[in-house]
Amino acid sequence: MEAAAAAETGLAQKPVVLYPSPGMGHLVSMIELGKILGARGLSVIIVVVEPPFNTGATAPFLAGVSAANPSISFHRLPKVERLPPVKTKHQEALTFEVTRVSNPHLREFLAAASPAVLVVDFFCSIALDVAEELRVPAYFFFTSGAEVLAFFLHLPAIHERTAASFQDMGKELVHVPGIPSFPATHCILPTMERDDVAYDGFLKGCTDLCRSQGIMVNTFRSLEQRAVETVAAGHCTPPGLPTPPIYCIGPLIKSEEVLGKGGEECLAWLDAQPRASVVFLCFGSIGRFSVEQIREVAAGLEASGQRFLWVVRAPPSDDPAKKFERPPEPDLDALLPEGFLARTKDRGLVVRSWAPQRDVLAHASVGGFVTHCGWNSVLEAVMAGVPMVAWPLYAEQRLNRVFLEKEMQLAVAVEGYDSDEGIVAAEEVAAKVRWLLESDGGRMLRKRTLAAMRQAKDALREGGESEATLTGLVDEWKRI
């Protein structure tokens, strides 16, 4: 008893250090993990590394977290002012590089902080070198789902089986144990070209997963049971590499919204709409459409006859130098078809750049969600019981779309996003929105999503599968 008490006291004095990658979606998930650990009496330090590209405004968000959670503190590593030249079109490669260059600063901080445990994001896997040097137990927090994790763990085996790039395989199916086979066109975008440095970063990160003491996954077992069991059994990991313990501790979603400009307007407008009548369209913190695609969406929404709340962002710049810069506020009059706002004002609301997504999805008026399939967005929709129309844009979202539709059966996909033109036509937008809100198939989708919502809430309750898993893991840390 005395030894156990001493161990627990030791952990309370030694911090748990969390190291998220700079993407907003990854940062939000890691902060939610920090809140849960803080609520269990642990001291949590979240290491923040600034990216060389725009990820959305984080300062107000972090300030709010610090004010509301005394057990959490933030440590900013010195900003990397200049990166070595990285020839890539994928910002993930820049993330790998900025965390690599930041390793000496991380080592200095960890040596002084003497943490009990280090928890790293996938894009920060280079930090395992520092953890091993300092003999700090290191875990991953995987912010996507178990089915994407299965692909990540199996990527080194795929790499050994073929010399072809995914982009050259066309519609050829990729086979991974425990998940539905999917066309090579739907692999994670930064892994499509074997000669891109982004691919090298992913391949190394996938191998690094097996160097950790365990992998926490932002999912719950009953949502992705087949994938979880297959991964845990070691069937996805290449021969010769160990499979770390898998801990499903989700769904962790943003516990509160900081209502920025326009947030109150969204919620007030929803208050005046009938129950489950509004389709919400939002595509993540960096999801952007061309002018042509924006106008197709507008025409489709108008033709659908349905109520809608749509977050519109400025189109991407044609200037490669501005690819990763913060976008300007969109000029709705220039982007949308002439007269669109006036013709739809009685049943639609268009907001610029941002909406309080978590609170919007939880609103009783929302009956459907057109989403880019980012994992945080998926989990927020599941927690709200809102069925989805899948429209993937970047990162692992095409994989998520396959799993949502084929395995979990919680979404219907739009057609055309993976065509040569890459344009989803207005007619398709109108058809899918009407199907979601009016058809028997849409009602069945909503029924399945509500069932998943109940399972998610059961997983998080005291003694539920995710809550119990995290309790067991923290108990292990207390014995370190």
pLDDT, one tens digit per residue, over 132-171 is 999 999 999 999 999 999 999 999 999 999 999 999 999 9
Per-residue model confidence (pLDDT) at position 6: 41
Spatial CB neighbours of 321, under 8 Å, sequence gap ≥ 6? none
pLDDT classification of 2: cutoffs 50, 70, 90? very low
pLDDT classification of 323: cutoffs 50, 70, 90? low
Per-residue model confidence (pLDDT) at position 7: 45
Burial class (CB in 10 A: 0-12, 13-18, 19+), 454: exposed
Lowest pLDDT segment from 194-198, 218-222, 256-260: 256-260
2-254+462-478 and 263-457 agree in CATH topology:
yes
pLDDT classification of 84: cutoffs 50, 70, 90? confident
Chain centroid, CA 333 distance in Å? 31
3-state helix, strand, coil in the chain (%, to 5): 50, 15, 40
Contact 116, 139 (CB under 8 A): no
pLDDT classification of 53: cutoffs 50, 70, 90? low
Is the pLDDT at 37 greater than 80, yes or no?
Answer: yes
Contact 428, 216 (CB under 8 A): no
List, for residues 439-464, the tens digit of each pLDDT value. Answer: 999 999 999 999 999 999 999 999 99
Indicate the average pLDDT of the chain: 92
Q: Which of 3.40.50.2000, 3.30.1490.20, 3.50.50.60, 3.40.630.30 is the CATH number of 2-254+462-478? A: 3.40.50.2000
The 8-class DSSP code of residue 53 comes to S
The percentage of the chain sitting over the pLDDT mark of 90, rounded to a whole number, equals 80
Contact 400, 377 (CB under 8 A): no
Is the pLDDT at 59 greater than 90, yes or no?
Answer: no
Is the pLDDT at 312 greater than 80, yes or no?
Answer: yes
- CA 287, CA 389: separation in Å to the nearest integer? 15
- CA 223, CA 240: separation in Å to the nearest integer? 29
Per-residue model confidence (pLDDT) at position 324: 59
Neighbouring C-beta atoms of residue 451, cutoff 10 Å: 13
Contact 48, 74 (CB under 8 A): yes
| Most confidently predicted of 48-57, 282-291, 339-348 | 339-348
Lowest pLDDT segment from 24-28, 97-101, 300-304, 368-372: 24-28
Is the pLDDT at 325 greater than 80, yes or no?
Answer: no
Is the pLDDT at 118 greater than 70, yes or no?
Answer: yes
pLDDT classification of 4: cutoffs 50, 70, 90? very low
Contact 461, 397 (CB under 8 A): no
Determine which helix (DSSP H) or strand (DSSP E) holds 152, and give its type and residue range: helix 146-161
What is the per-residue DSSP string for 334-401?
A: HHSPTTHHHHTTTTEEEEES---HHHHHHSTTEEEEEE---HHHHHHHHHHT--EEE---STTHHHHH
Per-residue model confidence (pLDDT) at position 317: 82
At residue 44, the 3 state secondary structure works out as: strand
Token pair, residue 253, equals 């979603």
Is the pLDDT at 321 greater than 70, yes or no?
Answer: no
Q: Is the peptide bond before 251 cis (omega within 30 degrees of 0)?
A: yes
Rg (CA), the chain: 22
Per-residue model confidence (pLDDT) at position 57: 58
pLDDT classification of 64: cutoffs 50, 70, 90? confident
The model's pTM is 0.94
Contact 148, 399 (CB under 8 A): yes
Spatial CB neighbours of 357, under 8 Å, sequence gap ≥ 6? 257, 280, 282, 377, 380
Contact 370, 279 (CB under 8 A): yes
The percentage of the chain sitting over the pLDDT mark of 70, rounded to a whole number, equals 94
Is the pLDDT at 11 greater than 60, yes or no?
Answer: no
Q: Pick the residue with more confidence: 336 or 60?
A: 336
Spatial CB neighbours of 303, under 8 Å, sequence gap ≥ 6? 426, 427, 430
List, for residues 176-209, the tens digit of each pLDDT value. Answer: 999 999 999 999 999 999 999 999 999 999 999 9
Lowest pLDDT segment from 103-107, 190-194, 451-455, 473-477: 473-477
Token pair, residue 327, equals 């976008």
In 54-192, DSSP assigns E strands to: 72-76, 117-120, 138-142, 173-174, 182-183
Chain centroid, CA 115 distance in Å? 26
List, for residues 373-430, the tens digit of each pLDDT value. Answer: 999 999 999 999 999 999 999 999 999 999 999 999 999 999 999 998 899 999 999 9
Q: Pick the residue with more confidence: 28 or 367?
A: 367
Average pLDDT over residues 261-290: 93
Spatial CB neighbours of 141, under 8 Å, sequence gap ≥ 6? 18, 20, 29, 30, 33, 119, 120, 121, 216, 218
Angle (nearest 5°) at CA 251 between 213 and 364 = 170
Determine the residue type at 343: R
pLDDT classification of 431: cutoffs 50, 70, 90? very high
Token pair, residue 347, equals 């049943």
Q: Where are the domains of the chain?
A: 2-254+462-478, 263-457
Architecture of the domain made up of 263-457: 3-Layer(aba) Sandwich (3.40)
Is the pLDDT at 371 greater than 70, yes or no?
Answer: yes
